[in-house]
Structure 1
Amino acid sequence: MKKILIVMSLLFCTMPALADDKAELTALLSEFLDGASRNDASIHNKYWADELIYTSSGGTRFGKAELMQGVTSRGMLKPEEIDTVYSSEDVRIMQYGDTAVVAFVLVGKSANETKRYLNSGTFVRKNGQWQAVNWQATSKAE
């Protein structure tokens, strides 16, 4: 009976922690999409792990160094230069300890159109920080 109570108490103790992690990952995604809209290199650097494997919707695979080179070569956008604002819909998070899978619909809105992409990322928590180690983007059929 004591073993059952111990197991039950451990399960109930981890449920709030998992909810907190999901809230933290959701907030991180929102912060990232806001920063990506502005092409903010510091946000990109925080979000992506050094060992990142990124597969773009166009079928190109690259790492963090190549991604950051593209971000820094363009520089931070001024408010009047922002042509696309990014947000998320249908965010789904599955957590496995210090690893999480985040899947969502990326929405890119510009003055003329709205595009949607299915995105998924694998995150690992290192030193208390979540970072994406793998990313897959796919154009969404409309």
Structure 2
Amino acid sequence: MRYLLFTIAVLFSAACSAQESVEEATTKAVEAFLYGASIGSPKAHDRFWAEELTYTSSSGERFGKAHLMSGMKDTKPKDPDNVTVWYGAEDIEVKQFGDTVVFNFTLTAEEEGKVTQYFYNTGVLIQRDDRWQAVNWNATKVP
């Protein structure tokens, strides 16, 4: 009986540790998106942005997914060897509210191995179809 209880406890703890936390999952989703944005992948944008997206750009423009995707029409991803600007995430903060996450971070734009721009970004993410998608996004250029 002890062996059976021990085995169940080990299996349960292994299953729990194998699951990602919400912070890990959303961070991976944003980092995957930033990689896709760096190479100019329309698929990465389409997968990450929810249909009901409201995006407020650092220039103060507000638009939805259709407008954002229209700028990528007929675009093919670049070969990673030809990418000149890589986007990254620093100072990540994840706040979970039920099945919704507020994802705050500093977006970096790196050129030739040096970060040349910083943007404060805040996204509201929801999980659907086994992925995290942004329904709201705000970008503010750091002076």
TM-score category, normalised to shorter length = 0.7 to 0.9
Corresponding residue number in structure 1 for 2:33: 32
2:128 maps to what in 1?
Answer: 126
Is there any run of 5+ residues in structure 1 with no aligned partner, and where?
1-15
Matches within 5 A, 1:89-128: 89-111=90-112, 114-128=116-130
The residue aligned with 2:62 is 61
| Structure 1 residue identity aligned to 2:104 | A
Contact 2:42 2:75 in 1 (8 A): no
Q: Give percent identity, aligned residues only.
A: 37
Name the larger-Rg structure.
Answer: 2
Deviation >3 Å, runs of 4+: none
CA RMSD of superposed structures (Å): 2.3
1:70 alignment counterpart? 71
- Please state whether the residue corresponding to 2:125 is helix, strand or coil: strand
Q: How many residues align?
A: 127
The answer to which structure has the higher helix fraction is 1
1:139 aligns with 2:136: no
Give, in whole Å, the separation in 2 of the partners of 1:137 and 1:50.
19
Amino acid at match of 1:136: N
Question: Residues 27-72 of structure 1, C-alpha deviation per residue, up to 9 Å, x if partnerless?
Answer: 1011011110001111111100000000000111111011111123
Instruction: Tell me the alpha carbon deviations over residues 73-123 of structure 1, each in whole angstroms, 9 at most, x when there is no partner.
Output: 443223354221000100000001110000000000113761000000001
Which position in structure 1 is the counterpart of 2:8? none
- Aligned partner of residue 72 in structure 1, secondary structure: coil
Q: TM-score, normalised by structure 1?
A: 0.80
Q: TM-score, normalised by structure 2?
A: 0.80
Does the residue aligned with 1:71 lie in a helix, a strand or coil? coil
Deviation, structure 1 residue 125: 1.6
